[in-house]
């Protein structure tokens, strides 16, 4: 791929900084310096390092997906959304299971922050079903009947109705979500494992190339990069495997 195409590909790969401290995350950032990937900050790191670390990433020029999966009463989610919008994140998520009013509350929080001086409107996306959710878990533990794909599409439609920009879903459901909600409805897909990588705690997975071929907009990759002996080489090899059109 040409340099420009490679940079565009890197911008669609969200590297998950699932670390317990800012120091560990900073080490990885230094190793990946110069690769314009998207950065995902999850609950563990955000709770440990706080908003200052997000601001640090933004100062470095990274796009940041704040993966805190808000799920509470509408007014509380509205307040949380206002706070993270003020951080300048590019994307954050909430649980579609909280319902339409809660999702609308998140957008109200974004608008309130923008009216109060925040300068960037983040994309707000909804979690449908976690990629660790198997068919058995969905039916017998969570108590939702039917197929995982049907549950994912139902939540995606609710998110679209509420005005959200997209959803988090496994790569196996991308085509169904796009068919139900439109090609412009963003899909962010965890459960991505390069060829030969261990599955870990994921149940519904694809390789990066397969996920992009299925039509996803962004892939989230954590341990295959962050736990690799050479994280930079691991990310470069993933980029080598892609031919995103």
Q: Does 69 qualify as catalytic in the annotation?
A: yes
Sequence-distant (≥ 6) Cβ neighbours of residue 198 within 8 angstroms = 223
In contact, 108 and 75? CB cutoff 8 Å: no
Distance of CA 213 to the CA centre of its chain: 18
Quick check: 127 and 101 in contact, CB under 8 A? no
Per-residue DSSP letter, 139: I
CB-count exposure of residue 28 (10 Å: 0-12, 13-18, 19+): middle
Name the catalytic one among 40, 58, 69, 101: 69
* Closest C-alpha to 194, from 172, 216, 223, 168: 223
Spatial CA neighbour of 94 closest among 75, 108, 115, 80: 80
Residue 147: CB atoms within 10 Å: 14
As annotated, the active-site residues are 69
């Amino acid at each position: 791929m040409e340099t420009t195409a490679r940079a565009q590909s890197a911008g669609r790969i969200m590297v998950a900084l699932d670390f317990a401290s800012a120091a560990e995350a900073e080490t990885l950032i230094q190793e990946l310096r110069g690769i314009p990937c998207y950065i995902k900050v999850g609950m563990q790191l955000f709770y440990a390092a706080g908003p200052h670390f997000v601001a640090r990433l933004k100062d470095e020029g990274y796009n940041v997906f704040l993966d805190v999966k808000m799920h509470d009463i509408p007014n509380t989610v509205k307040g949380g959304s206002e706070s993270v919008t003020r951080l300048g994140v590019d994307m954050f998520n909430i649980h579609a299971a909280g319902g339409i009013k809660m999702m609308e509350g998140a957008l109200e929080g974004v608008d309130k922050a923008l009216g109060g001086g925040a300068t960037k409107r983040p994309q707000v996306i909804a979690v449908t079903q976690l990629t660790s959710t198997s068919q058995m878990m969905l039916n017998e533990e969570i108590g939702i009947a039917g197929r995982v794909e049907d549950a994912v599409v139902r939540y995606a439609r609710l998110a679209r109705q509420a005005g959200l920009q997209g959803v988090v879903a496994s790569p196996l459901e991308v085509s169904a979500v796009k068919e139900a909600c439109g090609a412009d409805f963003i899909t962010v897909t965890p459960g991505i494992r390069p060829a030969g990588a261990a599955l870990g705690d994921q149940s519904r997975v694809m390789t990066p190339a397969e996920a992009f071929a299925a039509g996803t907009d962004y892939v989230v990759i954590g341990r295959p990069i962050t736990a690799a002996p050479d994280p930079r080489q691991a990310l470069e090899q993933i980029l080598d495997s892609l031919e995103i059109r």
